[in-house]
Amino acid sequence: MDVMEAIKTRRSIRKYKSTPVEDEKIIECLEAARWAPSANNSQPWEFLVVKNPETRRKLAEIHRYGRFMADSPVVVVFIADPGRSSNWYHGDVAVSVQNFLLAAHSMGLGTCWMGVLNTPFEEPIRKLLGIPDGLRVLCTVSVGYPDEKPGRNRRPLEEITHWEKYGLKSK
């Protein structure tokens, strides 16, 4: 699958088959995540892989918009270290998440990104997983083999693109 195809065909998956996900595939996706660009190459990311069903059930209980974590075979928690990149950690780690999602999709895996940073879910998730103070939880990502095929649309390119000056629509 080439990059454009992966970008255009990836969709958030919230329903998963019970088939286990191979550790090798998770590691390959994390490999993609760690090769993301970051400000000053600060790489302010750490990854926490959760497979334990009881822990996933607790994550699903905490995150009101991520109940399906109870049923996805794997959840990856993306942790940010502001000490490595105080101004840019949010964007840096977000880019690594997108790399992860695209790599997973290219391997036939479904994912869904659940925002955690600055939500009421962040502190309980930090406590549950023993994440040290000072680190931030950017998001959780559910991973598994898809059991749905959602459609989705995007705003038209011409509506969101300007040429040379804001508002100019022709080249």
Ligand X SMILES: Cc1cc2nc3c(=O)[nH]c(=O)nc-3n(C[C@H](O)[C@H](O)[C@H](O)COP(=O)(O)O)c2cc1C
Check if the beta carbon of residue 86 is closer than 8 Å to that of residue 93.
no
Is 33 one of the binding residues for ligand X (CB under 6 A)? no
> What token pair was written down for 155?
């705003």
Is 42 one of the binding residues for ligand X (CB under 6 A)? no
Stretch of 11-19, 35-43, 77-85, 128-136 contacting ligand X, by CB under 6 A: 11-19
Q: Which residues pair with 75 in a beta bridge?
A: 50, 142
Q: Which of 11, 25, 34, 51 binds ligand X (CB under 6 A)?
A: 11
Cα–Cα distance list, 61 to 2, 54, 64 (Å): 37, 11, 7
> Of 46-85, which residues contact ligand X (CB under 6 A)?
65-66
Query: Per-residue string for binding with ligand X, 126-155, x by CB under 6 A?
Result: ------------------------x-x---
Q: Which of 48, 61, 82, 115 binds ligand X (CB under 6 A)?
A: 115
Q: How far apart are CA 18 and CA 127, in angstroms?
A: 27
Q: Which is nearer to ligand X, 68 or 163 (CB)?
A: 68
How many residues contact ligand X, by CB under 6 A? 11
Nearest residue to 140 via CA among 125, 130, 162: 125
Q: Which is nearer to ligand X, 132 or 156 (CB)?
A: 156
Nearest residue to 51 via CA among 25, 81, 76, 17: 76
Q: How far apart are CA 118 and CA 120, in angstroms?
A: 7
Q: Which is nearer to ligand X, 66 or 144 (CB)?
A: 66
Q: Which is nearer to ligand X, 24 or 141 (CB)?
A: 141
Q: How far apart are CA 129 and CA 66, in angstroms?
A: 16
Binding site residues, ligand X, CB under 6 A: 11-12, 14, 65-66, 112-115, 150, 152
